[in-house]
Amino acid sequence: MGKDTRIPDEVILGQFSKAVREMLADDDLVKAAPEEFSISTDLAIKMVPYFPEWRVSPEWTRREDEEKRLAWNDEAGKERLKKIRPDIIVHRMHLQDENILVVEAKRAQNKDYADDIRKLTMMTLEYTPNPDYHYGYLLGVHLIVDLPKRTVVGNNVYRNGEVDSKLTELLRRMLH
């Protein structure tokens, strides 16, 4: 058995918040006012030194030789399947049970969060009936930034498929 790789929630969020604050302080990035893809990629790059024993991957679409997908039942009970591309994941490649953080980052101007919420809900579940679509991330973060104003206008932290109000408040305090 390998070493214990569990990281306390407070450490994960503390390291993440340092990268977010660094991103918000980046004059060149703020001046460029890029779209979401560039913001999340830049944030992932800034996260790398804060997670030295983990891989920080932006726009990650694969699990081994399969595309990442989510499965859920709609209101009529019919199974739905959708390809996904999380904005940022912090993980150990080839080790399904070593996924610690999934991030969906949005600009404040974007108001369509339904897909982000579904991803964070499903990807942080401890258990799913179908192991082909189970990711088991310890935490998920929905981050909404107003880059020109250098501020986070919204954040929710997900644990086991739900918003965790205590962790959400902790991250809010860390970011301000």
User: What pLDDT, in 10s, does the model give residues 138-158?
Assistant: 999 999 999 999 999 999 999
**What CATH number labels 13-175?**
3.90.1570
Residue 59: DSSP 8-state: S
Per-residue pLDDT of 33-67, as tens digits, reads: 888 889 999 999 999 999 999 999 998 655 555 67
Give me the chain's average pLDDT, please.
87
Query: How much is the pLDDT for 141?
Result: 98
| Residue ranges of E strands in the chain | 55-58, 62-63, 66-67, 69-73, 79-83, 88-91, 99-107, 139-146, 151-159, 162-163
- Bridge-based pairing of strands 99-107 and 139-146 is parallel
Predicted confidence at residue 154, as pLDDT, reads 94
| 62-106 pLDDT, tens digit each | 555 567 777 766 777 777 777 888 999 999 876 566 899 999 999
Q: What pLDDT sits at residue 66?
A: 67
pTM: 0.88
Give the C-alpha separation, 164 to 30, whole Å: 30
What amino acid occupies position 165? S
- Domain boundaries along the sequence of the chain: 13-175
What is d(CA 23, CA 48) in angstroms, rounded to the nearest whole number?
13
